[in-house]
Amino acid sequence: MSLEQELSEAMRGHVAGVRASSLMGTAIRRRHRARRLRFRVAGAALATAAVAGAVPAYLALNAGPPPAAGGPAAPAGGEARAGVVEQVKVPDVGKKSVAEARAALAGVGLTVTVGNGAPGGSSPLPEPDDDDLVVEQIPAAGQAVPKGSAVELFAVARPAATSSPEAGPEKVSMPQDLGDLGDGREFGGVEFTYLPGGLVWGEWSVKNGFGVASYSTSWKKPDLPAGHYSVQAVVYRGDAAVAVTERMKGYRGQGAEPIKVGGRTAYLVNAGEAVGTIEESGTPTLVWAVGKGLAVEVMMSPDYAGELGGEAPAELRKIAEGVVPAK
């Protein structure tokens, strides 16, 4: 049998037992109702008397400082210019919380009210949580629209809040080989004395997942869902540490410049998805042999590195410099 056929058979066998639940439709519709909301951004032209009456209170609650362009005019000032169709640029509210999106939309001088479902729909939509995340907006950011156009937003509950009550699937599936590590800084015979501020232990650990012997855990920003990481570290000993030195040679072969960590040769690379490769968009990784039979690797999630921006390499180095033998 050819490899293609073997692979095809292997995949078939692997998922043969996987079946979509018959409740999928119900689950999708529930999700849809819970996550979908519409804000109507109603300008003077559209505002009914009732809406206009409700607006100032809303703005008082949610609006930031009035935008320079709009000047200090009161929100209701739109009514005075009802005959003029002023163009405004739709602000980018993607990835903002609903509260922030509300403020941003209000900030371009438009009045905001929470509307109802799809045209013709009759059931009222649930109020979104202020904390929900805006994932889509229509029209798109940057488009010029007349004041009074409707901006439609889709928001989702943040991952941590969406896990169904009957499950904590990700949490359950995380390995706990090293038990409760407390703050997670001490494992595999070393201690991580420095971590970027605000990270907490990822509440999982694995032994020998990266060769024998190896120990690994991660730290994350508290708002990340279980299973995601901000910084992960692996401590390699014995044969696993030897394999790491080979990997480092490979990095050198791919043109990576060695640096020094605590006087030892280290490599700071963007590790690709395949082990041992370097990719521009890979995971920022600092790896070094601490001593004979001991190597350490510190990885930073690309998301987190993006948040740190130019500081990411320096933070990785600081973490590495802070690694000391455990007491």
Partner 1 sequence: MTEEDEAAFDEFLAARSTALLRTATLVCGASPHDAEDLVQGALEKVYRHWSRIRHDNPESYARRIVVNAAISLSRRRKVIREITFARLPETPVDGPDMELRDALLVELRRLPARMRAVLVLRYWEDLSETETAALMGCSAGTVKSQAARGLARIRERMGTLEGALG
Contact positions toward partner 1, by CB under 8 A? 1-4, 6-15, 18-21, 24-25, 27-29, 31-32, 35-36, 118, 154, 167, 169-170, 173-175, 204, 206, 209-210, 216, 218, 227-229, 232, 272-275, 283, 299, 301-303
If the CB atoms of residues 30 and 260 are measured against partner 1, the closer one turns out to be: 30
Q: 55: how many CB neighbours lie within 10 A of its CB?
A: 21
Angle at CA 100, nearest 5°, toward 58 and 230?
155
Edge-to-edge strands of the sheet including 190-192? 186-187, 190-192, 323-325
Three-class SS of 243-306: HHHHHHHHHHHCCCCEEEECCEEEEEEEECCCCCCECCCCEEEEEEEEECCEEEEEEECHHHHH
- State in angstroms the smallest separation of the CB of 213 from partner 1: 13
- State in angstroms the smallest separation of the CB of 315 from partner 1: 17
160 in Cβ contact with 223 (< 8 Å): yes
- State in angstroms the smallest separation of the CB of 31 from partner 1: 5
If the CB atoms of residues 25 and 262 are measured against partner 1, the closer one turns out to be: 25
- State in angstroms the smallest separation of the CB of 22 from partner 1: 9
Rg of the chain (C-alpha set): 27
- State in angstroms the smallest separation of the CB of 222 from partner 1: 17
Handedness of CA 33, 34, 35, 38 (dihedral sign): positive
208 in Cβ contact with 214 (< 8 Å): yes
If the CB atoms of residues 227 and 258 are measured against partner 1, the closer one turns out to be: 227
Q: How distant is the alpha carbon of residue 275 from its chain centre? A: 24
If the CB atoms of residues 49 and 167 are measured against partner 1, the closer one turns out to be: 167
> Cis bond leading into 119, ω under 30°?
no
- State in angstroms the smallest separation of the CB of 129 from partner 1: 17
If the CB atoms of residues 25 and 291 are measured against partner 1, the closer one turns out to be: 25
If the CB atoms of residues 106 and 199 are measured against partner 1, the closer one turns out to be: 199
